[in-house]
Structure 1
Amino acid sequence: MQKKEYETKEFDKTEDLFLIELKPSAETIAEVVIRSVSRSIKLNDGNMVMNVSGNKDFKTSANLLEVLRKTPGVSIDQEGGIFVGGRITPAVFIDGKPITMSSQELQAYLRALPPEMVESIEVNANPSSKYDAEFKGIIDIKLKRNGNLGWKGNYNGNAYANKFSYRENALNLSYNTEKMAYSLQTSYNNGISTYQYNALQKLANTNVMRTNTYQEDEGNVYSIQTGADFRMNDKNRLGISVRGNFRTSDRIRSGSLYTTNKDESQLIFNTESENPTEYSQKNYGITADYSFQNKGFKLNFLGNYLSVKNMQKDDFINRDKPTSQLLSYWKSDLLNKIDIQTAQIDVSQKMGNADLEAGMKYSYSDTNNNIRYDTLSVNDRFVFDPERSNMFSYKEKIWAGYVSYRQKFGKLQVNAGLRFENTQSISDAVTKDSVVSRNYLEWLPSFSTTYTFNKSNELSLSYSRKITRPVFSQLNPFRFYFSPLNYWIGNPYLQPSFTSQMKLTYRYKNWVTSFTVGKEKDVLVRYPLYNPKTNVLEYLGTNLPYRKFAYLETSFPVKVAKWWNITGQVAGYYNDEFRPYLDEIFALKVYNYEVRVNQVFTLQKGYTLNLFANYESKTGNSLYIIKPRYTVDLSLQKSWFDSKLNTKISYNNMFDSYDQSLEFRHKQIMDNRLTHWWDSSRLILSVGYSFGSSKYQVKEIQKTEEENRAR
């Protein structure tokens, strides 16, 4: 093949490092030429940092949650849950600080945040001892900032269409003076989402049960957040933020249970159930922070208070389907209150090429749960049910501190840290007169080193030890019903788990590869237990002795043409789980992989087309096999009026292929197959409009480790 001449061109700084330039007249690929431009990916202490604003890979993304779906090292499940490093739920930071939001609030916020407002995303899958020991992973979102005086506004709206529709509306306003910065953020979301569950359940020599469940959830969410930053002088800054979030949900869940004998020749019973639910949540929070900086010395103080009140009323109605005869009927009334207070102080001093940092943190959380059940008696009156009713409280106090040291020796940077956390907790199952009290101290070291060969090559190695405390719902020793014959029960005797892991990361230009290996002890899990006499399926909590894990991830951009960018991501996972179950030991080694391909096409007249595909291979654990699945998304973007108006249309999960199917491995114990389906196949219309003279973006309210766990 004859070699052609290529001319040198300047490219936008946001374009990928690997450019496969097709030039000149022939439309077929004659030769691949790789050129270097400014990096859209870099490493920070071994953590991948990816530019967002102006990055063509994210131009068609309707919001930041969709950006995260395409970010290497991050995955989003069908319910909007965020994970890094396989199945680790990360803390989400805004400009270096964690944000005060529940998981549902966080999803709504990320959906309301357009990519154009985000400078970069840093993915930290192995946080150091500086951070709370609960943080096994961190996603730090850096917002775009500008010191311009004046005001700025942004409206972002999304409409989701499936069988039903869901709408999200967010308005952000900020006003910046030389001394003060004010902000107001408000949003309103409403609509209906659906969910389906199907299961086959069979034990040897027992009945065969088939379950079908359909659920509609109509929700309304209002939120308001306001704050002010006072820049007293070049050294001192004071900020305060207050927020409120109000959520209501009316859920209708209907199901059927079709049961036959073991050879399916005789019907045992055929029942139908109804479970209408009224749910409401009220959140109030306030955050105050102060910072002082003088030459190489920095001091930061953060105080936070959060109050959450959950209320839920359920009806559980079970009938014989052929005759419509009422078999059972009970009601529940839940009141759950959570109060959290935290205070922390951090100081650092720069000494030449070295940095010394230390900090202290105090946190206190108080959670109270009161759920009352009333059962319909033979006299057609509802009578208090003491067997199901529940009063449970959990109080937790944590004192933590850390010291870290960082120094640079030419191209080599070394970080070392040590953290302690003293936990005092009391769980009180009032209705069972059972109190569990704990007091333990843990030392948690970390270490990392990074060597920069040149601008194109970096190598990083890190180690950390983490703790995972059980959340309130895992400790509460009472029933939480999914259906009349299906519920899970908490375990107040659960121990925290501890994870030690090492991570090796290498970057060559925009190609990033990382390998992580580790071991977790006292793993927190749930397991199924079926009673063949009552046909009740319980999910119970326990600590597994250990699990070993490893995962290898790589991402690489390729430019096929000026108008065609491809980013590939490949990840492989290994899990070795030691699981005692029903007087047997199951220790299986499970391997699986995931492949993502993101293609961006720059079309004429300013249109951008995006095709994103994700495939997950067969996976699971020692008890269950999770079957393969895939998803394909298509989106189109166009900006108008000097990019002030941004419009996008997307069709996510085009082939409705992202349901989750599980199968119990050990048929000699139980043949259990189940499928979860969510309405993630949706048409999405997005509109964003920016107005005003300033681009100043105030700091977001901050979130604590305890708020992540109080769910």
Structure 2
Amino acid sequence: MIIKLWLFLLLLFLSIFGKAQETAKGKVSDSLAETRSSTTNISEVIIQSAPRKIKLNEGNLVLSVAGNKDFKTSTHLLDVLRKTPGVTVDQEGGIFIGGRITPAVFIDGKPVVMSSEELQAYLRSLVPEMVDSVEVNTNPSSKYDAEFKGIIDIKLKKNVSLGWKASYNGNIYVNKFNYRENAFSISYHTGKVTYNLQAGYNEGISTYRYHALQRLANTNIMRTQTYQEDFGKAYNLQAGADFRLNDKNRFGISLRGNFRNNDRIRSGSLYTTDKSETLVVLNTASENPTDYSQDNYGMTTDYSFQNKGFKLGFLGNYLSVKNKQNDDFINRDQDATDVLSYWKSDLINKINIFTAQIDASQRINNIDIEAGFKYSHSDTNNNIRYDTLSVGSQFVFDPTRSNVFSYKEKVWAGYLTFRQKMGNLQINAGLRFENTNSISNAITVDSVVSRNYLKWLPSLSASYIFNKSSEFSLSYSRKITRPAFSQLNPFRFYFSPLNYWIGNPYLLPSFTSQIKATYRYKKWVTSFTIGKEKDVMTRYPLYNPQTNVLEYLGTNLPYRNFAMLETSFPVRVTKWWNITSQIAGYYNYEFRPYLDEVFALNIYNYEVRLNQVFSLPREYTVNVFVNYESKTGNSLYIIKPRYTVDVSIQKSWFDNKLNTKIGFNNLLDSYEQRLEFRHKQIMDNRFTHWWDSSRLVFSLSYNIGSSKYHVKEIQKTEEENRTR
């Protein structure tokens, strides 16, 4: 099916190309001139043409940020991404593209070296005026790590002046409690060397609620209630230097540390009645206090050489992470307050990652040839111990829950890409190989899983510029997704006394092949993607009717087919009222064997976003952002519709040095996630997740100093993304 569609789209493209070839002559220089911003330096004055707000780069959407009225009221870059076509940001700050893909985040063409929590804090420290553009790549070529099924490339504004520059960004989020974010950066540029220092401190309380209703096998009705307060502190410090040795050579080094502490208080209840809901069968209360800490240290070195059409680059990364967590699980009778069960857990997790990469490219006339080689080594060790309170009021080691688990992985990878431009047509082709050698060892249960496999991953794309108003691209890629370390860990992670999930060390990697077509007409951009994923990694519920325990286990599904149709377009209602509309439709078909049956459903859903910007007198800007998600789900679960409304206002002061913003996210507190199990003959279960995303937001940013030199960001590898 995919091959037939590829041939159809290719024939369609060639037909369009043939018709447009005559009209496109003589317009190449005009279209190319528009894709470049002309800049002329006169002493310290910079004259720069205004860039287009929306354009395509080899089929990828590129959206201007600085100076874009659509983002003037955005508090930070994470808020910008929420309003970017094709990008979704959930209640916990997770970033997704293409419906369910977690993308790699790049800064100026390089992946960033941060954990998911650090990345969110960093994106919140970037105000829109610090960012030149955002590029969304939903079909990366073979040049990039095969783990990268999608990429968001953030281009920071270029800096050119000498001297020093400092900035402060502060945000306050107010709900039942409040959360505060502070980021400070300073850089000094001498002409040959740039020194930079970044520091941050975040502190506050966030809340979470979980409600579940389950009709048990014996016809009783059980209600689960969970309330959680998470008090967190995070400190980070990063220092580096960038040496420009001469016009051809550059060397950089960066050191960082990040330290995080979380004290979580979770309380809940299990309330069970008979089917008439008049007789109480069980009423228990649970407490789950947690003490969590993370210390990580990182080092990045990079070197680049450039001479005429030849480029050579080296990138080395080292990351060390240590996680510690202590939990208490106390279950009591609600009425008699007697302790029914009590167990403790003590977790230590250590991760070490080393990567080294070399890239080289050569331009020959209108042909670019690029090749690269990469080696990565990951080593993780986990030790979790459970102790249970015995009848003698003594804590006794619990071997049924405890486990020692280690995972080692080595990946050798290389790629070769070819790019040629022929008039308005550009062709890209690439081939990547990745050899993976991994050993997972569940020491307590004496289970060792060893794998060694080599995979070839091709990519191909073609793009054509008809004129300055329209362009078209077509691309194909094949990707691999390896299991994250947490997915392999055979540990119990508890949500409630009767609800937990367990990792599966036997998980296989999944492989995705997809085709994407994109067309732009002026500011209207439409893309269509279709593909197939094999050995899909997912979780499934397993209910025990005797104990009423609900486990979530990991497995590989045989395959799933998917398709996406996305379009975005701006509408100017008046001089002071602009609307950007985003509409996306999704199709998903999972082939899911489950409990001796096979469930395969065609799932269709859509999303609609409206971003309205009002430019008011005295340079006030008001923004109203509305997002609606239709009913969706998978072969086992239904996910109910939800929507959100955000309102914000912005004002700049003192010649734009001080920027203040105030807003209310999720104004109607309507963005909770509600799920329901489809197959009532197996299990009648429905539950709701709620986060405190309905928040009043205050934001302040202030810039001082004269330097505009760009501080180079440290970089992240795909292995570090999988430490989550």
Structure-2-length-normalised TM-score: 0.93
Return the alpha-carbon distance in structure 2 between the equivalents of residues 55 and 466 of structure 1. Answer: 34
Deviations, residues 485-524 of structure 1 (Å, cap 9, x unaligned): 1111111111100000000000011110000000000000
Cα distance in 2 for residues equivalent to 1:380 and 1:223 = 42
- C-alpha displacement at 1:204, in angstroms? 4.3
What is the one-letter code of the residue matched to 1:661? R
Matched residue of 1:432: which SS?
coil
Whole-angstrom distance in 2 between the partners of 1:571 and 1:215: 34
Question: Could you give the per-residue CA deviations for residues 429-448 of structure 1, whole angstroms, max 9, x where no partner exists?
Answer: 00011100000000000011
Secondary structure, counterpart of 2:671 in structure 1: coil
Separation (CA, whole Å) in 1 of partners of 2:105 and 2:92? 17
Q: Is the 8 A contact 2:217 2:545 kept in 1?
A: no
2:55 alignment partner in structure 1:
42
Q: 1:256 aligns with which of 269, 277, 288?
A: 269
**Which residue of 314, 338, 350 maps to 1:325?**
338
Aligned residues: 676
* Equivalent of residue 124 in structure 2, options 92, 111, 132: 111
Contact conserved, 1:244 with 1:284, CA < 8 A, in 2? Answer: yes
1:644 is matched with 657
Is 1:507–2:520 an aligned residue pair?
A: yes
* In the alignment, structure 1 residue 360 sits paired with structure 2 residue 373: yes
Contact residue 211 and residue 688 of structure 2 kept, 8 A:
yes
- Residue 208 (structure 1) shift: 2.0
* Letter of the structure 2 residue corresponding to residue 377 of structure 1: S
Q: Secondary structure at the match of 1:135?
A: coil
Is residue 611 from structure 1 mapped to residue 601 from structure 2 by the alignment?
Answer: no
For 1:151, give the aligned amino acid: W
- Whole-Å separation in 1 of the counterparts to 2:604 and 2:140: 25
Partner SS for 1:57: helix
- Counterpart of 1:128 in 2: which secondary structure? coil
Distance 1:479 1:656 in 2: 32
Moved more, 478-487 or 194-203: 478-487
SS in structure 1 at match of 2:711:
coil
Where 1:270 maps in the other structure, the secondary structure is strand
What are the superposed Cα offsets for residues 61-102 of structure 1, whole Å, 9 maximum, x if unpaired?
000000000000101111110001111000000000000111
Contact in 2 for aligned 1:172/1:184 (Cα 8 Å): yes
1:372 has 2:385 as partner: yes
Give 1:260 shift: 2.4
Distance in 2 between residues matched to 1:341 and 1:494, nearest whole Å: 23
SS in 1 for 2:263: strand
Q: Which runs of 4+ in 1 moved over 6 A?
A: none
Q: Which amino acid aligns with 1:221?
A: A
SS, match of residue 444 in structure 2: helix
CA distance in 1, matches of 2:100, 2:348: 31
Paired position in structure 1 for 2:31: none
Q: 2:612 aligns with which of 584, 599, 623?
A: 599
Q: How does 1:249-648 map to 2 (within 5 A)?
A: 249-648=262-661
What does residue 686 of structure 1 align with? 699
1:131-146 correspondence runs (5 A): 131-146=144-159
1:209 Cα offset (Å) = 1.2
Q: 1:209 aligns with which of 187, 200, 222?
A: 222
1:649-680 residue CA offsets vs partner (Å, 9 max, x unmatched) = 01000000000000111111111100000000
One-letter code aligned to 2:391: V
Whether 2:243 is the aligned partner of 1:230: answer yes
Query: What corresponds to 2:114 in structure 1?
Result: 101
Mapped contact 1:203–1:669 kept (Cα < 8 A): no
**Could you tell me how far apart the structure 1 residues matched to 2:275 and 2:559 are?**
36
Match of 2:165 among 149, 152, 167: 152
- Contact 1:495–1:543 (8 Å) recurs in 2: yes
Amino acid corresponding to residue 290 of structure 1 in structure 2: Y
Gaps of 5+ in 2: 1-34, 36-49
How far apart, in 2, do the equivalents of 1:84 and 1:295 lie?
A: 37
Q: Helix, strand or coil: the match of 1:246?
A: strand
RMSD: 1.0
Residues of 1 paired with 2:211 and 2:166: CA distance? Answer: 46
SS at match of 1:474: helix
2:216/2:548 contact within 8 Å kept: no
Tell me what 1:65 maps to: 78
Matched-pair contact (CA < 8 Å) for 2:51–2:64: no
The alignment partner of 1:453 has SS state of strand
**5+ residue gaps in structure 1?**
1-16, 18-36
- The DSSP-based 3-state class of the residue aligned with 1:65 is helix
SS of alignment partner, residue 110 of structure 1: helix
Deviation at 1:553, TM superposition (A): 0.3
TM-score, normalised to structure 1's length?
0.94
Q: What displacement does 1:379 show?
A: 1.3
> What's the offset of the Cα at 1:206?
4.0
CA-CA distance at 1:147 after TM superposition: 1.5
Query: Matched residue of 1:680: which SS?
Result: coil
Distance 1:485 1:69 in 2: 35
Tell me the equivalent position of 2:713: 700
Contact 1:206 1:532 in 2 (8 A): no
Tell me the SS of whatever aligns to 1:191: strand
CA distance in 2, matches of 1:187, 1:491: 36
Q: Note if 1:655 corresponds to 2:668.
A: yes
How many Å separate the matches in 1 of 2:276 and 2:434?
A: 56
Match of 1:187 among 194, 200, 212: 200
Alpha-carbon distance, 1:266 to partner: 3.3
The amino acid that maps onto 2:682 is I
Which stretch of structure 1 is more off in the superposition, 473-482 or 154-163?
473-482
Distance 1:503 1:224 in 2: 40
State the alpha-carbon separation in 2 of the partners of residues 440 and 198 from structure 1.
Answer: 43
Distance 1:441 1:522, change over 3 A: same
Asked if 2 retains the 8 angstrom alpha-carbon contact of 1:598 and 1:610, the reply is yes
Q: Which residue of 2 aligns with 1:91?
A: 104
C-alpha distance after superposition, 1:91-143 (max 9, x if no partner): 00000000011111111111111111000000000000000000000000000
Instruction: For residue 409 of structure 1, report the CA deviation from its aligned partner.
Output: 0.8
- Give the distance between the partners of 1:688 and 1:242, measured in 2 at CA: 25
Residue in structure 1 matched with residue 9 of structure 2 by the alignment: none
For residues 105 and 214 of structure 1, the distance between their equivalents in structure 2, rounded to whole angstroms, comes to 25
Q: Show the counterpart of 1:239.
A: 252
Instruction: Give the alignment of 1:17-56 within 5 angstroms.
Output: 39-56=52-69
